[in-house]
C-alpha cells in the first residue's frame, strides 16, 4: 500500500530523535541549574538533572494536544467546503475531491494532517467504502470529540435518511463556535498566563538574589541536612504551585 494511504493515529505523539534530544537536554539542564540554585552541590544537582527525563511525557502530552487543536480547526474548514460543494448539488464523491483540492490551496503542505486524511478519505471512497465507516475510522484514530460526534451523526443520518448537507453544515457551525469560544477564553486569560509564568520565576530569582547579596542569610540552608530538607520542601511547594496554576489556566471547551 502507498505510504500516503497508511492511516496515521493521533492518540500518540512520536518525537523525532532531534526533538527528543533537544527537549531532554534543555529539561535536564534546567533541572541541573535549579539544583545548583537550591543546593549548591554538584552531586545533588546532577542527581536532580535526572528529573528532566520526567518532562518528556509532559512534553508529548502538550504537543499531542496542540496537534489535535490544529486538526480540529482544519477539519472545521474541510467541513465548510464540503457543505458548499454538496449544496451546489455535487455527489459526495465529487464534493470530497473538490474539498481536497480547495484545502490543498489553503494548506499547501501535503504532509499536513488534514491533507493526508482527505487523501485517505478520497482513496477509500474510490474503493467504494461507506462514507460513514470512513469517518468513524477517522474519529477512532483521532480521538477528537468533534470528529467523533460528526461520525456518529453521519451514521445516524445515513440510517435514518436525514439531510446530509444540513448535518454537515450544522456540525461545521458548532465546531466553529467552539473554536471561537476557545479563542476568546485564551485571549481573556492570556494576561493571567503571563503573570503565572512570571510568578513561577520569582522564587528562583529571589533565592539567587539572597545568595548573591553576600549576607550569608541562606548559608545554614545550604550546609546541613536539615537546611537541605527545608529547601527540598520549598522547591516541592514551588513546583506544586506551578502545576496548580497551569491546571487553573488550562481551560477546555
pLDDT at 231: 85
Question: Contact at 8 Å (CB) between 122 and 133?
Answer: no
The 10 Å CB-count burial string (b at 16+, else e) for 74-99 is bbbbbbbbbbbbbeeebeeeebbbbb
CA distance 63 to 48: 24
More confident residue, 60 or 212: 60
Closest CA to 53 of 23, 79, 77, 83: 23
pLDDT tens digits, 205-231: 888 887 777 666 777 777 778 888 888
3-class DSSP assignment, residue 111: coil
pLDDT tens digits, 80-105: 888 888 888 888 788 889 999 999 99
Lowest mean pLDDT among 30-34, 104-108, 186-190: 186-190
Mean pLDDT of the chain: 84
CA distance 34 to 52: 11
pLDDT at 5: 63
Give me the residue spans of the domains in the chain.
189-253
More confident residue, 243 or 56: 56
Contacts 24+ apart (CB under 8 A), 30-37: 34/204, 34/235, 37/204, 37/207, 37/208, 37/211
CA distance 100 to 103: 5
Amino acid at each position: 500500500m502507498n505510504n500516503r494511504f497508511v492511516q496515521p493515529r493521533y492518540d500518540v505523539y512520536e518525537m523525532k530523535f532531534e526533538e527528543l534530544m533537544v527537549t531532554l537536554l534543555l529539561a535536564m539542564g534546567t533541572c541541573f541549574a535549579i539544583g545548583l540554585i537550591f543546593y549548591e552541590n554538584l552531586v545533588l544537582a546532577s542527581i536532580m538533572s535526572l528529573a528532566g527525563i520526567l518532562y518528556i511525557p509532559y512534553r508529548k502530552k502538550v504537543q499531542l494536544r496542540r496537534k489535535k487543536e490544529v486538526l480540529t480547526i482544519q477539519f472545521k474548514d474541510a467541513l465548510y467546503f464540503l457543505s458548499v460543494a454538496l449544496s451546489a448539488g455535487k455527489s459526495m464523491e465529487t464534493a470530497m475531491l473538490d474539498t481536497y483540492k480547495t484545502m490543498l490551496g489553503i494548506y499547501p503542505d501535503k504532509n499536513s494532517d488534514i491533507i493526508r486524511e482527505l487523501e485517505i478519505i478520497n482513496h477509500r471512497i474510490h474503493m467504494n467504502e461507506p462514507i460513514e465507516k470512513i469517518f468513524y475510522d477517522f474519529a477512532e484514530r483521532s480521538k477528537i470529540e468533534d470528529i467523533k460526534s460528526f461520525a456518529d451523526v453521519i451514521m445516524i443520518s445515513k440510517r435514518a435518511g436525514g439531510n446530509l448537507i444540513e448535518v454537515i453544515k450544522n456540525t461545521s457551525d458548532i465546531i466553529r463556535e467552539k473554536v471561537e469560544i476557545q479563542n476568546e477564553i485564551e485571549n481573556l486569560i492570556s494576561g493571567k498566563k503571563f503573570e503565572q509564568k512570571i510568578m513561577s520565576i520569582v522564587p528562583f530569582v529571589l533565592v539567587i538574589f539572597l545568595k548573591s547579596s553576600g549576607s550569608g542569610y541562606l548559608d545554614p540552608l545550604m550546609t546541613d541536612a536539615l537546611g537541605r530538607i527545608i529547601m527540598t520542601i520549598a522547591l516541592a511547594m514551588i513546583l506544586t504551585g506551578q502545576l496548580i496554576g497551569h491546571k487553573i489556566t488550562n481551560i477546555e471547551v
